[in-house]
Structure 1
Amino acid sequence: MSRPDGRNRSETVSRRATLRDGRGVRRWRRLHPGPGPLSWILLGLLLIGSPLLAQARGVDVRPMDSRVFTVDPREVVTAVFQIVNQTGQPNDFEGRLLMPEGWRAITPEFPFSLPAGGSAMRLVSFFVPERVAAGEYRVSYQVGLRGRPGALGGSTLAVRVRPVFKLQVDILDMPAIAIANEPYEATFQIGNYSNTELTVGFGAQSSRESKVEPAAGSMTLAAGEVRPVELTIKPPAITEPTRDEISLTATASTPGLETPLSDTAKKSVETLPRMTGKEMPYHSMKTYFTRRVGGSWSGKNDGDDGAGVQLEWSGSGALDNTDERFLSFLLRWPGLNDETVFGQDTWFYLDYRGRDFDVTLGDASYSLSPLTEMGVSGRGARFAWRGERWEVSAYHVGSFDFGDDEEDFDGHQTGLGATFALTPTWLVALNYLDQTDNLNGHNRILGLRQKAVLGPELALDVEVAGSTGDAGSGAAFWGDLVKLGAPWRYRLTLLYASPDYAGYYQNQDRAYLDVNYAPEDRPWSLRAFYHYNRYHDDEPPDDEDNDDFVVDLDADDWGWYSPDSEEHEAGIGVNWRTPSDSRYLAELRYRQRNDLNPAPTFDETENILRLGYAKSFKELNLSLNTSVDVGQKLDRVTGERSMTDAYRGSLFWRPTKRLNLGAYLFLENQAAASFDEEPSMTAGVSANLILNERSNLSLDVQGQNYNGQNSVIANAQYSYLRENGDMIRVQARHGSRYAETYDNGMDMDNSLMISYTVPIEVPTLRRKDVATLRGRAFDQETGKGLANVVLKMDRLVAITDANGYFMFPSVKLGVYQLTLAGGRLPVGMIPLVEMPQEVNLFFDAGVPVNLPFIRGATIDGKVQLYEPDPSLLPSQTFVQVGRGVKAPPPPTSEELKPSRGLGGILVEVRSGDQVYRRLTNGNGEFRFAGLQPGTWTVTIDPEKLPENATIEETGYTLEVEPSADQEVEFRVELKIRTMRMLGTLKVKG
C-alpha cells in the first residue's frame, strides 16, 4: 500500500439518489428483517497475481475482444473495452494502460464523462517492442476518476509474444567504464536461432577509434547453437571523458533466405582518463522535488478560470542494501484539481515496508478483503506484523468521503486482519471491519477467507462474510477460481450479497465464466464467456430535499438506476493468424437486460456479430487494426427493433526511429451500449518525436461527436532532461465543446502546466557492506607526494592527486589486490613495498595504505669491441713463415683500441626471482632503471658475439644501493689471425 489504489472519495453516489449497486439505500429501507446470524464456512484457497476480471470499485471494464493475443515483436495490439459507470452518479473518468517496461501506448488516453449507469467504448492500442523476449505478458487497462490515484475497475489481457527464429547477437560481458589507453575485454554472443546450419560472419566496430581485436571473423553454427566472441578493446588516449559505442554485427545467408540474416548488439562504454569516484558511506534513496505552475482559462468571464502553484516531494526505494526495508512517501500541496485539468489532489503519505512489519501513515488506500474492504482512500494509519506463518494487520481511517462537497457526508472505519499459512500455498484469513458513514450508519463486518494453490497455474480464492448493524444483518459469498497457462485458461467468479449486507456488494448476484483455448503450436485460439449480473433496487429517486436535480429528471431516464434488474451476456469467438502475419477475428455476442419489477420499464436483447482484421507491414513499419460490429437490438417493452453497428480502425506508422505517427477512428450506433444513445464518432491522430537524447515532443488531437455534442481536445507535451538530471515538462491542452445547451453554443477550456523536477539523493542508513580505502603514494627520501600514479583494485581505478593522495570510495567489502597500473611516475621510481599488495577490507577498513617509493638503482653499460691499431698490423705486408722466418707476436691488450659497440646483444640482470632482459642498441649500450636495491648479476649471451671475438668475463655481480648508478662494460676483443703462406705444390704422377 505504498500507493493509493483503492476506492476513491468520489466513488459513491450522492446521498440524494439510490446507488445502482445498493450502497446508497437509505437506512430506513434497510431496517426490514433479514436473515439470521451467518454460519461461517471454511472453504480453502489462494489466488496468485490474478486481478479482478472486470468489476472493481464502481466501474465495470469489459474487454470486447479475446483476452489472449498472439503477436510477433514490432506489432501493434488493439483492444476495445466497454466501460460502464456503476458509481450511481455522473463522473469524469480517465483510463490508464499498465504495460511491461519498454512497451509503448499508441492511442492516447483522454478524460471522458459518463452519466450514472452509462457506458462507453474505449479503443486501446499498444506497440510490442522489437527486442522483447518470447513469452507471455500481462497488459492491464484500468479506469479511475480523473485526477485521482487508484483504479475503480480494470481488465487484464494476456499477450503472447511468439519466438522468431533468427540470428541474434547479445552482450555477455562488457564493463560500463573503461580507462583511456588501457585494454579491456568484452564478450559478445552470437546465437543461431534458426532451424538450419549457418555460416556467420561478424565484424566489430568502435565509435571512438578504439582498437578492436579481432575486428572481423567467421564461424559455422549449428541450429540452435550459441557461441561467444571475445574481443580485446584498447581505447585511445584521451584527456576528457567520452562515450564509446562498441558494436558487433553478425550476418548470415543461406539458400532459402530471401534476404540475409543480420543482427547487431552494441553498448556504450564510458571512457575516462581517470576516476577517483565519490565517497558514499550512506545508502541513499532517490527522491524528486517538483514545482508545478498551472492554470486554465475559458476565454469567457464566467469565473471558471484559475491558476495555482503546487509543490511536491516524493521518493521510493530501499533503505539499505539488504532489499528488506523499503520506504515511499509523497508530500503534495496544495491541490490543483480546480485550477487545471492537469491538476492533482493534495496528498500526504508515508509507507514503510520491512522484513517483519509495515507502517502506513496518511493518505493511502486501506484494504482487507473483497467482502470486507477492498480499498478505501482516506487519511489514516496502518500497521502489519509478519512472522514465519502469521501476519496480523490493523488500520484506522479517520476521514474519508464519497465525493460530495458537504462535510456531513463522510465516515471512518477500523479494520483488523489475521492470516495464517497452513502450508506455503494455503492461507486462511479472518478479517473484521467496523465502519461508520452517513450512508449506512454504524455496521460491523466479519469475513473468513481462504486462498490456496490447487495445482500448477490453478488457484482458488473463497470468502464468506456477515454483517450486523444499522443496515441490518446480512451475509455474502465470493469465490474466484482461476486457471492460467496453456492451452486452457478459464476463470469462474461467483458473488452473492443479501439485501441487508453492509458491504460494498450489497444486494447483488454475479456469475462470470470466461474460457480461452489457445494452443501454443496452433495459429488459432477460441474464446467463450457467460456473464450474469443481478441488481436488487426497487426505489426510484425521490425529492425529499426538494432538489431540482431530481425534479427535472424525466421518468423515462430512470432506467439507469437499474431497479431490480438483471443482465445476461454470452459470446463465442475465434482468432486466426495466417503465415503472412494477418490476423482475423470472428465473434458472436448475445446480451439481455431486463427490469424484474411487475411493471418493467425496459427489456432489451441484442445480437452482435464482430469481424476483425489486423496486419503488420514490417517492411514499412506500418500496423493496421480494424473491426466491425453488426447486430440487432429488440426492445420487448415497446416491440421496437433497431440495427446496431460499430466500426473501429487504427493505424500506426514509424517512418523513422525518432518519429511515431498514429491515427484512429471509431463510429458507433448503439452497439454494446447499456442504455439508448445517439450515434457517436471518435477520431484522433497522434505524433511523438524524439528531438534528441534529452528531449521529446508529443502531440495528440481527438474529436468526438456524442449525444448531440461536438468536442475537440488537443494535447501537447514537451520534455527536456538537463545534463544535471533535472527534468522540465510543459503540458498544454485545448478543449472545446459545442452543444445547444450552452448559452453561446460553445464551451472552451484551455489548460497549461509547467513542471520542474529536481532529483535529490537522500542518505538513509550507513552502508555496512562498503568501506572507503584511502592512501598516499610518496617519495621515501623527500616525503613529497607523487602525483598521477594510477592504481587498480579489481576493476576500480584511483589516480593520486597533486599531493599523492588517492581514494577508492564506497568499495564493497572483500579481499582485493592493490596493483600499480603506471601513470606519470618519475623515471626510476619504484615502490618500496611489495606490489601487488593484498587489501582486506573486512579487517583493514579505515586503515590508510601508505605506498612509499624510492628512486631505484640503475645499471647501465656497454658491450664494447676492442681491435688492434691498424698501424701495428702487417696488413699490407705478407711474410712467408718458415725457412727461418717467424711470425710477429700478436698485439697485447694494451695495444688494442676500442672501435665500436656491438648492437643486438642480449643482456640480462637477475636478482632472485626478478629477471629483466634487454638488447643493446646500435651503439652497444644498455640501461636497467628502477631496480630494487640489492645484489644483481649482469650477464650477456656470448653466442651473439662475432666469430673472431673473445670475451674474458660474460657476467658481473654488483651490489647496488638506492638511487645508485652502476656502470659496467663487457670487453670483447677481436682475435688476430695469422696467415701462413705455403710453398709451391708439387704433384706426382
Structure 2
Amino acid sequence: MLKSLAHTFIALCFLVCGLSFVAGAQHAANISVKVIKPHFVVLPEQVINVPVFVTNNAANSVSLKLNIDKPADWSLVTRAELDVLKPNEQKFLVLSVRVPSMCAVGEYRLGVQIVNPETGGELAAEAATVQVQEVEKISLQLIEFDENVMAGESYKASFLLTNRGNTEKKVFLETLNCNVEGDAHIEVKPGESSTFFVVGSTSEELGTAQKRYVSVSAVVGGQVKEKIFRQVTVFPLKNVKKDLFFRYPVKASVSYLAANPEDTYQSSYQFEIAGSGALDQEGKHHLEFLARGPNNADFSYLGMYDQYYLNYTNKNVDVTVGEKSYQFTPLTESSRFGKGIENKFSLNNGLSAGFVYVKPSFYKEIDHEMAFFSEYKKNDKNKLAMYFVQKKNTAEDDLVYLVSLGSSFQPFKKTNIEVEASRGFFGDIADNAFRGNIDTRFSIFSLGGSYFNVGKNYSGYYSNSTFYSGTARAQISEKVNVGVFLREDFSNAQLDTFFVSAPYSSSQQYFLNYNITPRSRMSVYWRENERRDRLNAEKFYYKTRSLNAQFRQSFSRFSSTFAGEYGETANYLLSELSNKQNTYRISSTLGYRFASTFSVRAFGSYSNLNSYISEKQRNVTAGISVNAQMWQKLRVNMYVQNAYNIEDYYRNRNLMQFDIDYKVARNHQLSFRTYYTLFRRQTENPDFFVSATYQYKLGIPLKQTLKAGDLTGRLVRDSGEPMEGVVLKFLNKSAITDKNGEFEFRSVQPGVYILDIDRSKFEFEEMPDVPQPFKVEIIEDRETTVNVGIVKGAKLKGRVVLKASNGAEFKSDEQPDIENIIIELGNDLENYRIATDKNGSFSFPLVLPRSWTLKIYANTVPDGFELETNEYQFDFKPGELVDLQVDLKQKQRKIIFKSQGITLSNSGNGGLKPLKMKTKVASQKAENKDEFYYCVQIGAFSKKIKAESSYFKSRRFDVEKQINNLYKYFVGRYSTLAEASKEQEKLRKHFKGAFVVAFKNGNQIYINDQ
C-alpha cells in the first residue's frame, strides 16, 4: 500500500514539473524582444537611448519583467517597467544608459532580457553593442613658481599633469628656458594626475634685472595639448652702473696658430683689432675697420691672412680703403678680394654715383680692375644701375672694357624681378652676357628661377657659360604640395683662387611633399642627376636616374631623418659594356636633446653609386656632433666625420672640429679651435690646425650722453629684522632686497620719481612707514639713500548713527537715508576721503601709526540733523584698530509766526489808504515729499539776505531754504535737467557760481556745478 502511494506521489511530481516546463517553454516561444538599433558609437559621459519592442504572441496575458545586462560602472538613467502584456500586444520601450566619464576605449555589450517575474527564467533576450571611442584630454596646471630669483640662483616650478581622457597617455614635457627634473616622458592613466618639477639656471654676471620667459608644453603624439607661459625676473647680485658715455665698440685679440702640413709643425702669433659701430647717437655716421697681422697665409684655412681696411658711411657717402672683397655686378665682377678703394656718393633724391679700384691679392691673372657706376633707387624693390668696368689682365697689353645695365623692380605685390645685360670688349672682340631672376606667387602657385647666358668671348666674371635653375610649386592643401626643380651649372666660371669651380652638374627633380603631422614630413621625388669633374684628371663623370624618399620627424627630444635612393647610374669613365649599374643609397640622421643646452646628433650613410672609377664602389660615411653649454661661461662644440665624397673637392672639408669658448669675465673671452681638414682639390692627407685666442671687448668713449645719480636704501621691520626678497620698482627698473634688506638703483637720470614697493612679501597689515606714493628725488652725481621701515598699520572704521532729539536711536525702518555722508581722514602728508554706505558704515584703508584728523562734512548730513562735533583727533599706534560711532542728533524745530495782513496808514487827506505789501518769501514752503524737480542755486550765506539786497538786484530769488546752517537761494522749478541747465546759462551772467540742483523727498542733491 505504502509503495503504491509513493509511486503515485512521484508520478504527480513529474506531471507538475512537466506541465510547468511546457508552460514556460510556451511562454518563451510566445514572447519576443527586438532591439531596433543594435550598434552604437559613443563618447564617455554620453547617454545611450536603446529603442526596444517587446511582443506577446500568446493567446493569454503574461506577466513580464525587464532586466538590463550592462557593465557594472554604467548607470541606468531611466528604468522602463513591464507589467502585463495582453494577447498580441506589443510595447515600445526606450532604455537610457549613461557611459561613465573614464570608460576605456573598446566594444561593450548591452543586453536586454525578458524574464518570468515568478520563476526568474529568461523568456527572451537580445543585445546591442556599444563602441566607446577615445577622448584625449590632457590638462596642465601650474602649482608653484619662483617669480623672482637672484642672479646665479636656479628658479623652480611645479606642475600638475592630469589625464581627463579615457586612454592611458605617454606625455612628453617640452620646455623653454628650463629643464624637467627626471624623465621628461610621463605615462598617465585615465583620471590620474602626476606632479613634476622644472628648473632653470641663471648667470651670476647679470648686470641688470632681466625678464626670462619660461614655457612648459604637454605634447602627445607630436601635438601640443596644453602650454603654460610664465615670466621670471632675475635680479643682479649687484646693479652694474650704467655707462654714461656713448662708446664706439672695439674688439682686440691675440691668437696662437699651429699646423702640421706635410708632417711639418708650424706655429705663429697673430694680432687683430677691429671695430664696427656708429660714431654718433643718432647713427648717422658709421665706421668699420680691421687690422690683422702679421701675414700667415699658410694658415689661410683659419682666415688668418693679413688684412687692413677702413670703411666710413653716412647718408650720402660710403668710402672704403684697404683689403676686402670688392663687388661690381654678378656678370662683370661678382667678387674680387684685393687692395683697393671704393667711393659712393648719394643724393637725397635716390641718385648715386661712385667708382671702385681693386688690385687682386690672390688672382694673379688680373693686374687691376676699375669701375665707374651710377644708380637710381626709388626703394629697396625698384632700382636701376649702370656700370662701366675697365680690367687689365697680367698677360695682355690691351684693356678689357665692360658695360653693364641692371635693374630690379616689383611689377606686382608678390612678384620681384631682377635683370642685367652686359657687353664686353677686348681689342676687336666683343660679346654679350645676360642674367635674370624672378620670384612670384599667385593663388596656390609659387615660381622662382634664375638664368645666366654668357657669350664665348665675354671677358667678365664668367665666360662661355649657361646656367639656369627654377622651381615651380603648387600648394594643393595644407599638408600636400607638389612641384618640379630644374638646374644646370656653369660650364666655365672664372673664380678667385680662394675658390674652386664646383663640378658641372645638371639636375631634374619632380617632388611631392606631405606633412603628416606638424612635426613629421614625408617627401618622394624622382631625380635625374649628372655630375662631371672639372679638374684635368677627371675622377668622376656619371649620370643617375633614381627614385628617392625622405622622412623627417621630431618627437619629444628626438629628431630623425631617414632617406633612401634606388636607381641606375651610368659611369662614363668606364667602358660602355660595364658602365651601367643599379645603385642605391641609404642615410639617416638621429638627434637627441638632453636639455636645452645639450644636444647630440649622429649621422651616417651607405651607398653604391657607381660614380667613380671603381666598378664596385662602396662608400660608408658616419659622424657625430655635440653642442653643449657646460656652464654659464663655458660652451663646447664637437664635430667628427670619417670621410667625404671625392666630388666634394671644391670646398674645404672638416673631418674633425673641436671648439671651446670660455667667458673669463664680462669683456674677456678665451677660445680654442682644432680642425682636421681636407683642403680644396685634395682627396687625402688632411692637415691638422690649432688656434688659441684671447679676445677683449672695449668701448672708446666719444661723448657723455647721460647725467645720473644713484639710489640706495634698506627695508627693515620695527623689530630690526631686515626684509629680504622684496621687489621694488623705480622708473623703468626693478630691484630686490638682499638678505640685509638692502637695494640699489644705479645710473638713474636726475628727477623726482615714485618708488613702488611690492607688498606681496609683507605680513598681514604690514606697510611701509612712508606715505604712498613715495616720491624720491635723484640728484646728478650723488647717491640718494632712503631707509624704509615696515610697520603694522592702523585701522579706522565706524558707523554714523541717527538719534532723535530725545537721544533715542532711530529704528532701521524709520531712519532717513544716511548714505554718502563724506568723511575725510588726513594729516599734513596724506588724505583719504570716503562716503558712508546705506547703513551709515565706513572703513578706511590701513594708515600709518601717527596723528590723524577725522573730519565729517556737515553739508552732506541729512536735513534735520546736526553733528555734535565734525572733527576727531587720533594718535594711532602700530596695529591699532579703532571702531568709531558718530552720532547725528535731530534738530529741534522752532515755529515763528509772521503777520501777512494789510497795514493802513494816514493818507494825508484825512482818509485811509492801503500800504503796498512788502514781499516776504516763505523760509520753507510746504512741499510734496514725493516730488522731484530741478532748480538753480544762485547763492548760499551763513546769514539771511534780504530780498532788497543789492546781490539780487539783477534777479530776485524764487525760493529760500535753510539747509545745513546755510541760507540758500534758488531760482525756478523745472521738471527736466535740460530746462534747468538752460536757465543756469542765463543766470551765470549775473551769478558766476550758479549751478543746478535737484530736490527729491525733501533732500537737496547736487547735479551739475559746471
In the superposition, the TM-score normalised over structure 1's length comes to 0.50
Q: Greater RCO between the two (CA within 8 Å, min separation 6)? A: 1
Higher Cα Rg, which structure: 2
